[in-house]
Structures are given as C-alpha cells and as structure tokens.
Structure 1
Amino acid sequence: MKKSIFLFFFFVTQASHFSIAQLVQSVAAPTATYTNPLPVQFGDPYILHTKGMYYMYGTGGGADKGFSAYSSSDLVTWKSEGQVYFHDNKNGWSDPKANWGGAYWAPEVYEMKGKYYLFYSAQWKVNPTKEAENFRIGVAVADKPTGPFIDLTNKPIFDPGYPIIDANVFTDTNGKSYLYYSRCCYKHPVKSDVADLAKEKGWFNEIEESWVYGVELKPDFSGVVGEPVLLLRPPVSLSDKQAEWESRSVTAREVNRRWTEGSVMFKKDDTYYIMYSANHFGGQFYAIGYATAKSPLGPFKKAANNPVLQRNTDKGGSVTGTGHNSITYSPDGKEMFCVYHGRTAKTGDERVVFIDRMQAKNGQITISGPTTTPQKRPSSTTTAATNNR
C-alpha cells in the first residue's frame, strides 16, 4: 500500500514539474516574429527608450484631453500605462473647449538629468481674436516616464505669432538642444506653381502651406534662444522633383493645403537627417520624406529617393496614410526602426501604429515598409539603446 502511494505521488510530482517546465518555456520563448499594425490606436507615435524599457506616446489612444502611454521591453508586446498627462494640472495653459477637443496632439518625451520632459501641441486659451486654430507648443515635466506630467509654466514654450504643432527635440553632441516644429497651414496662403494650377483648373482659389522651422532651446527647456529658422517647405516650382509627391492632396482635390509637418531630427556619421510628412494626415497620400544637412539648422537638401514611405494600395497592399514618424532602436542597439501611424482596410479611419526597419547610410534613408506580413522580432541583448545617436 505504501509503495502504491509513493508511486502515485512520484508520478504526480513529475507531471507537475513537467507542466511547470512547459509553462516557463512557453513564457521564456516569445514568438520569433511580430506583425503590423501593432494593437495600439495612436496617431503621431513617439517612443522613448530608457532604463531598459520602451515607452510609447501618441495622439488619441483613449486619453481624455491629454496623453496616455504604453510600455514594452521588446518593442513588440505593449502594456497600457493609462493617462500620463492631464490638461487641468496646476499649470495647464490649454483650452479643452476649443476645436478638436483642445487639440492635444503629437506628444514626445525626452529624458534630461533624471527628469522626463513632455513636448506637445494644444489649443492656447489666450485667443483674443477667436482663431479656429490657435495651436502652440508646451512642455511638461515628470519624475517618471509614466508621469504625472506637470506643465513647466502656465503658458506655451514660446509664441511665434502663428499657430504651431508637432514638436521634436534634438540634442547635439555639443550639448545644445533644438526644437523643430511645423507652422500650420491656417491663414498661410502661399504663391506657387501648384497654387496657380489649382486656381486655373478651378479646384481651389488658394493653397495654404505648413512649413518646418528649427530654433535652439534653452538648456532647461523653458524657452528658446534666438529666432526660428525656416528649414523645409513645399516646392514652389512644378519642375521640382519633390513637387509631385508633396502636392498629391491638392492634385487629387482632397484639400487646398500642402503640409510639411511631423518632423524628426537625428544625426548619424556627421550627417543631420530631418524626416517629415507631407499631404493631408487624414487622407491616403500622407507620406514620409527626408532631407540632410551638415548642421542642425541647415541648410537642408531634400533627398532624391523621396518619399521613403507611402501607401501600398497601388501595389496590392492595404495600407494608406503612412506618416508622422519617430525613430527608435532594437534592444541591442543594432537595428534602427521607423515608428509611424497608418490606416488599413480593416482599421478604416482609425490610425494605428507600425514599426518597420530602416537604415540611414551614406546620407540616404531607406525604410522596409509598410509591412503587414510577419517580420523578424527586433534583435535583443542586454545592451541598452538610446534615442539620439
């Protein structure tokens, strides 16, 4: 009898060990691939990598007049961290009752001296002329990537006298930081061959444009140094090779605007790259281009292989509206990724996040996307990567 009981417990114990071993093995061995789009409904996605973790921020994503975040250790599996910025913090300067629910757009977070700084766009409550688009850029600070973020002051970082969105910050090797942003199309009609063509064809009476500027930041991110410098704008002449792809929202008669927005700056091998998005963010032609320079404030030259990321529906795919990107690196720092939003036939008007491999070499960027088929997981070791390199 005792022998039978012993054998019973022996087999139960072995079976339990086997089950636990199987469970540990399944947890420890993630799938070898991932597939776009990721299950994150963000527009304008931005990823911060710090202390071995990735944090993603973006427009929308369920946040109520503010911003939410997701976290990941591998760029593939993401966990919601909830809302991390609220407009009604003690220094809030925005107007949540303004158009687009206050227009809380395009958050980006940067680590500096143990603090985390969130740059974002919103409608400014100081609006004596009742402008429909009164966007400005603010900066909030927190002790953790997950907030809560509190505005540095009760006003935007600066007021150039026109609406601005899409803040991006780059810190150079000499320690100087720069703010890049987009002047909005709002009340900014510009003369060009495309504007003349649109009027001649009876499409639109005028074409408004958004332009990208850069300006040095104060070391504590509390304001700017000097005057903004114009870096990028849509082509004036139709003979410019960039004109065709940057004007598609006009020539397709979607809207009377040409955009240069969603800029992101990085440096590699002594070359400064600035990526940007053109065309209507709500349309199918939203696409990404880039330009290069030898200094952080230019002059910049647009690349001959633009656009480097665009819709694939004309090639049998299902992705449109690819744009407003950021960049990040694999956990081992060896692979570079383009993080952007897009739409698919399945997601409809909802913007979702894509992460595809990219390269920047010899002054040229290439992006392997948009993809919706299984891709190899980002390479991973214990080596930490950084956002600015």
Structure 2
Amino acid sequence: MKMRSVIALLLSVVTIIASFTLGSCTSQKPKIQLSYDDQIKEDNSFNNNLFYRNDLVIPVADPSVIHITDKDSSEYGYYYCYGTNSTTSFIAYRSKDLVTWENVSDLKGFPVFYPPDDNFAYDTLWAPEVIYDESDGKYYMFYSGNNRYKQDVDSWAVMIGLAVADEPYGPFVPYVDATHNAKTTLFDDEKIMAAARRTLPDAGPLWTCIDPHPFVAPDGTKYLIFTADRAGKYQKTQIWGIKMKSWGEPDYDTLTQLTKTGYYTVDGEEINPAEGKNNNINEGSFIYIHKKSDGTYRYILVLSINSYRDKSYCVIQAVADNPLGPYRKLTEEEGGIILSTDHMSWDFISGPGHNSFIRVGDEMFIVYHAHIDREKGGSERAIAIDRVCITTNDKGEEVLYVNGPTWSLQPRPVLYSDYKNIASDAKVSATNGSNVEALTDGLLSLYKQSFVKEFETDKTTTITLDFGDYREITGLMIYNSKNYEKAFPEVTNIEFDFVNDELPNGAIAYINNLKFNWKMYKNEYADEMRPGGSAVAIFNPLKVKQIRITFKLPMTRPEDIQLMDDQGYIIDQTSVALSEIVVLGK
C-alpha cells in the first residue's frame, strides 16, 4: 500500500505548517494524523533498511555459518555460509549482515573445496562444517562423501573427511599427518568399528556416517558429533559423538551414541511420537552450549528428523549435562519441536531443518534450509534465518525457542540496523485482557501446541506502552494471533505522545485503522494463519514517551475473512489475540 495520503509529519517549522492537519485537542495537546507506510505492496517489496524476509534466494542446503574473527584475515567481520550445493565440490557464501549474501567462490574464482583426483570422496559431497582454530590459525572443514576405495564392500560408503585451509574461502586441501592423506577418511576403519561394536554388536561392515559437527566445550576439549548412517540391523540413522585429541585424531575410547531414532533416550523404550512411526532419521546435529544461572552448562543437541525431501522434515532438541550425554529429547509440550511446519499444517514453509546457530552481537540466530517449493518440497533448498532465545517452559526448564520459521517481515539483526526493538523497555498495561506480559516477552506465538502465550481480550481494550521518557522511534509492529478466529483484521487506533523542537509541550500523533496484510499471512487453502505476521507502521522518526493501541470489540470482518457460526451464519468477531509488539527505536 502506498504511503497514506495524509500530511507528512516532519520536524521543522515550515514542514509542520505544510504537513500537519490539526484535529481536536485532548488534554490541550494538538492531535495530528500521522503519515506512515504499512509495508503492504503490490510487488511485495519492503524497507530492507529495517526488515528482512526469508524469500529463499540463496540455494544452499545443510547450512553451516561461522563468523570470521581472525583480524589478520582479509575476510575479518564476514559471516561465511558453507553447505551442500554440488555433489562434487563445495562453494561458500559470505555476508556482512547475515541478510545479504554473495557467492565468495565466484568472486575468488575457485570453489572452497574441490577434491584432488586421489581423494577418497569422489561424489556425494555433503554438509561441510568449518571451525577456526586460534591455536594454529587454520580453518578445518569436516564433510562427508562416498568412499571410492570401499565400493567393493558397499556402494553406499559415505564417510567423514577432513580438509584444512589458511583462509575461510579456501582452497581447502586434504588434511595430512602421519596417518591421514587424501585417500583416507577421518576415522580409522578398524578402530572406529571396534569402538562402535561395543554399543552395536551387529554394526558393519562399514561405519558409514554423514553430517559432522565439530565444537569446543567450555573447558577447551574438542568434540565431533555426527550421524551414523544406517548403522546396524535397524537401518536407522542415529547421532553419535566422540572426543577429539586434535581435529585429526579421534579418541576412539569415547565414541558414544547420543540418540536412538524414534525414542526419547538411547537406553529408554518410551517412543517419541513427534518422530512418527515411519521415521528412520536423526541427522543434521548441532550442539548449543547454554551457561545456566548457577554457572553450570546445559548442552542442547539440536537435530533434524524425517526425510530431507519431505514437508515434515523438522528440528527437535534434546538436553544433557555433559557434551556426550546422556541426552533426553524433549516432549512437544516441553518445547521439543523448535522448527517445523506445525505437523504439516502450514502452506508457507516446507522442510525447515539441518541448521546451525550464530551469534550476531547480543542476538542469536538460527540458519536453516527450507524447500524452495514451499508446497511440494523436494531436494531444492535455500537458507533462511530467524531469531533464537533461551526461555523457560511450563516445567521450569530452560530450553531453546525459535521465532520461526517465518515468511514475514522481521526486524534486521540489531547489530546491522539503526533501530532495535525497545518495547521491552516500556511499562505495559491494558484496560482489559489477559497475559499482558506476553506482548513484550520477545517470543512469537507460532505453534498450536506451545507454552508460549498470547495476549487476549474479549472486550474493547487499550494497550499502553509507557517508556517513562522520550525515545526516538520510527516504526511499530503488532504481531497477530496464530489463531484465525482471534486474529485482528485491523488495529482500530494508535496514539503516540511525542515532542519536538517546534512542539515542546507535546502533541498526539495518531493512526486509524492500521491494516493487516491478510493476503500475505492467511493460508491459501484454509481458514488458517501463516503465523509470524504483523501489522506494520513505518514513519519519520518521532520522540515518543507513550504509545496507546486500541482494539474495539466486537468488530465486523471484511467479506473475504468473515467468521461463521456452526449454522453458517455470519457473526462478528468478539475476541482478539496478539502475539507480540515490536517498537523500532533507539
């Protein structure tokens, strides 16, 4: 939608005269209609200085992202994204803000890793992960590929390899030491099989594995976790972990099974219904290390389940007190599913999974892939990002929570934006309704089965955000409910108490009937929401002390989103729920 054809609100004497329309007075303050942009565009464009949107344009699967912290590197400050994009080599993308990416391999003129002719992996190059080691200034790439030298044993001989480079863009070359060269895999066949058979006596004849993830524990110990691919008679993929004496030398005595596909724990027999009866897959693992308030650490194992080609591919979490477990997968009620299509009920996302986490300033983001074909899925995937936080579930446990997956406008990473969300700095109240604290808790209400609450009211209400002092703001995002029947068609009224040099005693700027983009945020095939959408107002910066947001109930919905009772009669909407309020300010 175009900028409202009301008079623009500016800060000089001339522009005040030219661009204010004075209305009635409230408490002797002039009331001024505010010009704003609601970001509803026919071409779906948006203000990319304030927002990002997951339009799935970077064609990478199994993404792994690192931040280049080596100040001696020409790439210092960049974020590098590695992943699966060709079965015979690897390329990388880089970004300064985690939003806009460029193909660094095209810029440099060579792939990140192209295996030499005698390399053990000749195809099926998948899921590279790179870790920087400050002790030697090297970048280590772990990856998987089909072993040409084991084809006489099994044509499916995917194994983990190791390559090394001086720069994040490569070229990476096979890791070489006394026992490793281009022809060898990371694991010694005899040693890894002997270690595996202590847990899986029927394992073999090859230890096939994919999706390596290296990490360093707070005490400096190196670890590698990975997916044992169809190991043993059950032909299921499981997550395993091992200590590393160095990045090229596994400590085989520590090989440990971390997950059992379809079950909450490795040793337990309680079936995890979230994985489904036919799921054979636990893969794409990542360890998030959370320091608790008592100084101890909680290890959160994040992994993907179901087939990567299916819409049901999704991410779950398991928790432990030690890097190698024992881990317990959380139930859905505990927040166990952190990234999904909500049991395939959404039409705007398919197969979100195989992720990594990256810290951007004080914020944490998840980088994951999703199917480019949002309806049918398939093998073509691209990267998306969303915010992540640690929150407390209904049992009092600290767990990961993802504000996604989204296909909606979201604020840019704070580190790379002139404005940030300051809503949590305000004192929030409402004349009616419940769960006021949910309005500024930083959590988007997305899933039907979730401990994350929404603000809800069945009476006309005014929500007030009081900052106590004047703050510069330039935008407002009012996130709608995940529930179709409670989602608002528009915001009745918004008022801003503001001052400027020409109005030192203050004035009230207002917006009436702020629209919500139903065309974008409603399921195309059903009366369901595409959760994560908001009503947006962007305007010239104002110094604001208080914001008042009013919803008048009951309200009559437009014809295309009318509500009906059980007998098919059109009815008014009698309740409204909100997920979150974001105030873009300083």
Q: Partners of 1:258 and 1:185 in 2: how far apart? A: 9
Structure 2 residue matching 1:126: 3-state secondary structure: helix
Quickly say closer, same or farther: Cα 1:232–1:346, change in 2 above 3 A: closer
Aligned to 1:180: 225
Q: Is the Cα–Cα contact under 8 Å of residues 310 and 377 in structure 2 kept in the other structure?
A: no
Aligned to 1:288: 315
Q: Partners of 1:180 and 1:261 in 2: how far apart? A: 10
Aligned to 1:145: 168
Quickly say closer, same or farther: Cα 1:33–1:241, change in 2 above 3 A: farther
Structure 2 residue matching 1:66: 3-state secondary structure: coil
Aligned to 2:250: 224
Q: Is the Cα–Cα contact under 8 Å of residues 242 and 306 in structure 1 kept in the other structure?
A: no
Structure 1 segments, 4+ long, off by >6 Å, are none
Name whichever of 39-48 and 127-136 sits farther off.
127-136
Aligned to 2:79: 54
Aligned to 2:424: none
Aligned AA (2:84): T
Q: Partners of 1:167 and 1:264 in 2: how far apart? A: 9
Alignment of 1:85-234 (within 5 A): 85-88=113-116, 92-94=119-121, 96=122, 102-113=123-134, 114-127=137-150, 129-152=152-175, 153-154=181-182, 155-158=184-187, 159=189, 160=192, 161-185=206-230, 188-190=232-234, 208-219=235-246, 221-227=247-253, 228-234=255-261
Q: Partners of 1:233 and 1:241 in 2: how far apart? A: 11
Residue-pair matches, total: 316
Structure with more of its chain in helix, by fraction: 1
Deviation at 1:285, TM superposition (A): 1.1
Indicate yes or no: 2:410 matched with 1:375. Answer: yes
Aligned to 1:278: 305
Deviation at 1:241, TM superposition (A): 7.0
Deviation at 1:231, TM superposition (A): 0.7
Aligned AA (1:138): G
The superposition leaves residues 125-175 of structure 1 with CA deviations (integer Å, 9 ceiling, x where unpaired) of 221534131011011000100000001022111033320000001101221
Q: Partners of 1:356 and 1:272 in 2: how far apart? A: 21
Aligned to 1:41: 59
**Which of 389, 398, 404 is 1:363 aligned to?**
398
Deviation at 1:379, TM superposition (A): 1.3
Aligned AA (1:246): E
Structure of higher CA gyration radius: 2
Deviation at 1:38, TM superposition (A): 3.8
Aligned AA (1:352): A
Aligned AA (2:321): K
Aligned AA (1:288): V
Structure 2 residue matching 1:76: 3-state secondary structure: coil
Q: Partners of 2:55 and 2:127 in 1: how far apart? A: 19
Deviation at 1:365, TM superposition (A): 1.1
Aligned to 1:200: none
Quickly say closer, same or farther: Cα 1:121–1:245, change in 2 above 3 A: same
Quickly say closer, same or farther: Cα 1:157–1:314, change in 2 above 3 A: closer
Name whichever of 141-150 and 259-268 sits farther off.
259-268
Aligned to 2:276: 247
Quickly say closer, same or farther: Cα 1:295–1:348, change in 2 above 3 A: closer
Q: Is the Cα–Cα contact under 8 Å of residues 215 and 226 in structure 1 kept in the other structure?
A: yes
Aligned AA (1:42): V
Alignment of 1:282-361 (within 5 A): 282-304=309-331, 305-312=335-342, 314-330=344-360, 332=361, 334-343=362-371, 344-345=373-374, 348-349=377-378, 350-361=380-391
Q: Is the Cα–Cα contact under 8 Å of residues 350 and 376 in structure 2 kept in the other structure?
A: no
Alignment root-mean-square deviation, CA: 2.3
Deviation at 1:315, TM superposition (A): 4.0
Q: Partners of 1:282 and 1:373 in 2: how far apart? A: 23
Q: Partners of 2:245 and 2:93 in 1: how far apart? A: 29
Aligned to 2:285: 263
Q: Partners of 1:358 and 1:45 in 2: how far apart? A: 16
Q: Partners of 1:65 and 1:263 in 2: how far apart? A: 22
Aligned to 1:3: none
* Structure 1 runs not aligned, ≥5 long: 1-28, 97-101, 191-207, 251-256, 383-389
Q: Partners of 1:64 and 1:379 in 2: how far apart? A: 36
Which one scores higher on RCO, CA 8 angstroms, separation ≥ 6? 1
TM-score, structure 2 length as denominator?
0.51
Structure 1 residue matching 2:273: 3-state secondary structure: helix
Q: Percent identity?
A: 30
Quickly say closer, same or farther: Cα 1:241–1:226, change in 2 above 3 A: closer
* Structure 2 runs not aligned, ≥5 long: 1-46, 69-75, 106-110, 176-180, 193-205, 292-296, 392-396, 418-586
Q: Is the Cα–Cα contact under 8 Å of residues 325 and 341 in structure 1 kept in the other structure?
A: yes
Aligned to 1:25: none
Q: Is the Cα–Cα contact under 8 Å of residues 147 and 157 in structure 2 kept in the other structure?
A: yes
Structure 2 residue matching 1:104: 3-state secondary structure: strand
Deviation at 1:218, TM superposition (A): 2.1
Quickly say closer, same or farther: Cα 1:75–1:347, change in 2 above 3 A: farther
Structure 1 residue matching 2:352: 3-state secondary structure: strand
Q: Partners of 2:376 and 2:112 in 1: how far apart? A: 25
Aligned AA (2:82): Y
